[in-house]
Amino acid sequence: MIRPNTNSGIISPFKGVIFDLDGTLLNTLRCIGSAFNQALGALDYPQHPIKDYAAFIGDGVFKCAERALPNDARTQPIINALVEHEREIYDATWADNIEIYDGITALLKTLKESSIPTAVLTNKDQTAADICLDACFPDHDFTAVIGYTGAYPHKPHPECGNALLNMLSLAPSEVLMLGDTSVDIETARACKLFAVGVSWGFRTRHSLMQAGCDLLIDHPSELLPAIESMRTQT
């Protein structure tokens, strides 16, 4: 599915790619869900099926904690305590459950060989994002990675995306953003980027279409042919 981008125009050729992390580059559902379930158990709160965390993830660890807690426990002290427990468990166990999505390594290799800079914009904590990326993609150098530190608001606020554009030294019209949630599409819109929805992550194709993505792909190998097709049509 290809739609015209009314915010930034068709990128032909594009000069940079920004990736979301959880649900786009890496399948972190089991490592996040397992860590939260262990933390919930430690605090005597009900746990959830791992698949349910697909709906909890995307807006940062504190929002995920809030969604995982019962309604009557969603106070800031309890949320903070759950996050503290989850972070400790996640740091010790994430590598046991993480997966690189099929086709991502090949896409990154192609972009690198084409001298197209890549970056990551995520609501994941900065330290956790850096550790995951270094471990999972040791042969790829991202030009910049912005995770959550408190320096910028979470996505979809445009401040973090605009900061990343400055690091890339590229104009919004020259950049694609790939993500698996409406938050990523909203971020791309707010920053006037070309929004690519990916259906292999934590949300449905329908939700990405409703969010207004410019391009929807089902596998990383579809990205470059789709962009090339758009280029030849202009």
**Is 141 contained in some domain?**
yes
- Whether residue 108 is found in the same domain as residue 38: no
- Whether residue 22 is found in the same domain as residue 35: no
- Whether residue 86 is found in the same domain as residue 192: no
Strands 175-179, 118-125: pairing kind = unpaired
In this prediction, residue 215 carries a pLDDT of 96
Domain carrying residue 184: 16-27+99-233
Q: Tell me the per-residue pLDDT of 192-214, one tens digit each, with 9 for 90 and over.
A: 999 999 999 999 999 999 999 99
CATH of the domain at 205: 3.40.50.1000
Last residue of a domain, one of 96, 125, 150: 96
Q: How many domains would you assign to the chain? A: 2
Last residue of a domain, one of 81, 96, 111: 96
In this prediction, residue 233 carries a pLDDT of 65
In this prediction, residue 36 carries a pLDDT of 98
pTM value surpassing 0.85: yes
- Whether residue 193 is found in the same domain as residue 81: no
- Whether residue 59 is found in the same domain as residue 82: yes
Q: Tell me the per-residue pLDDT of 60-105, one tens digit each, with 9 for 90 and over.
A: 999 999 999 999 999 999 999 999 999 999 999 999 999 999 999 9
SS3 9: coil
pLDDT at residue 3 greater than cutoff 60: no
Contacts of 143 (CB under 8 A, 6+ apart): 16, 117, 118, 119, 167, 168
CATH of the domain at 91: 1.10.150
Last residue of a domain, one of 68, 96, 124: 96
